[in-house]
Amino acid sequence: QVQLRESGPGLVKPSETLSLTCSVSAGSIRSGTYSWTWIRQPAGKALEYIGRIYTSGETNYNPSLKSRVSITADTSKNQISLKLSSVTAADTAVYFCARDRDHSYMDVWGNGTTVTVSS
Amino acid sequence: DIQMTQSPSSLSASVGDRVTITCRASQSISRYLNWYQQKPGKAPKLLIYDASSLHSGVPSRFSGSGSGSDFTLSISSLRPEDFATYYCQQSYSAPPTFGHGTKVEIK
């Protein structure tokens, strides 16, 4: 059973870059018709799509975040990484990575990691 | 972006009740509609994909229907573990977008 685990700093200063890693176990990030997606959720609010990376290496980002987001894959480590630059308090949220099956529905999720933007 | 509107935003129900949640898309999305359940402090879990397909391991009391722009999630007989927040999500066009959630509370 594929498992995902997010990791990274829980506190980031305003204007700096948020960096998170999603480690995938019991499955290769290169296999199948999957993409790997980052989603975030501010406290008490709805889920927001950040972006995804396909097995081809192609990426797709939410237009609202596109200028600040980068998602990459390290196949040697079986990890997906998220970088979000120039963060503000509005970027404070729980960040989830998820496996996106057939680029359609997210069938496996990590537990999420909380990131707070504060000086 | 396609906007997803869920109703109600919250509801109170008793164990054993039938519950229906609706989700409306701002344009037709065919059947590219998924439903997730989220409990406090936990990640969302996939319940239904492609409007009506039950994800593996999800109890059969959950069902989904609809096409075009109007969709429903039904729980035939509410159990204590079903009290949670439910989200719809469209996968018709990028970026995928979510509804704002429906919180199902105990009456």
pLDDT above 90 for A103: no
* pLDDT category of residue A102 using cuts at 50, 70 and 90: confident
**B2/chain A closest Cα distance in angstroms:** 12
Residue whose token pair is 């989200």: B87
CB B51 within 8 A of CB B22: no
Structure tokens at B83: 């009290």
Mean pLDDT for the stretch of residues A36-62: 95
Mean pLDDT for the stretch of residues A15-25: 97
Report the distance separating Cα B3 and Cα B32, nearest Å. 13
Q: Report residue B81: phi and psi, to 5°.
A: -75, -5
- Chosen for mutation from B49, B92, B102 (greatest number of chain A CBs closer than 10 Å) is B49
